[in-house]
Each structure stands twice: as C-alpha cells, then as structure tokens.
Structure 1
C-alpha cells in the first residue's frame, strides 16, 4: 500500500511551492521523494 501524506504535509508542500521553492528544494526540505512532490504539485495545478 502506498504511503499517504497527512494534510499538514500537503499544506506545507503547497505553501513552499507558493513561496517559490523548486520541487527539488521542497523534496530535500521535507525529506520526501521529488516524484511525490511533482505528483502533488500537478494535482494542485490541475
């Protein structure tokens, strides 16, 4: 079963993205895979 991020993690991803951080930097900051960040950002922008 895939791991699911809790709502606070998702909120933090969106906040960092809004602040202009790259997906790579968000991934490094949160210790989450860049692919996961890419998926959540794609979901946000769709």
Structure 2
C-alpha cells in the first residue's frame, strides 16, 4: 500500500487522489490524525 500520497489543501479541505482513497478505503467522512509535520510536508494516519 502506498502511504505517501500527495495531498493539496484547497478551501480548508484535503484533496486525496481517487486511487489513494480506494486503496486506503477512505470516505468523505474519514478522519485523519496529524502524526508529524515539517516544512516539506506532513504525515497523517486514519483515525
């Protein structure tokens, strides 16, 4: 499973590529928890 997905912030929401949503079984109601962040990106887990 590819856990390194590119996400783009748009209007306060995260846009996750469709193939990543399917791979991780994400729905619109899914909750992500911030694990770490840096100037180059961030890491989150499915809550």
- TM-score, normalised by the number of residues in structure 1: 0.29
Flag the structure with higher helix content.
1
Flag the structure with higher strand content.
2
For CA contacts below 8 A with separation 6 or more, give which structure has more relative contact order: 1
- TM-score, normalised by the number of residues in structure 2: 0.29
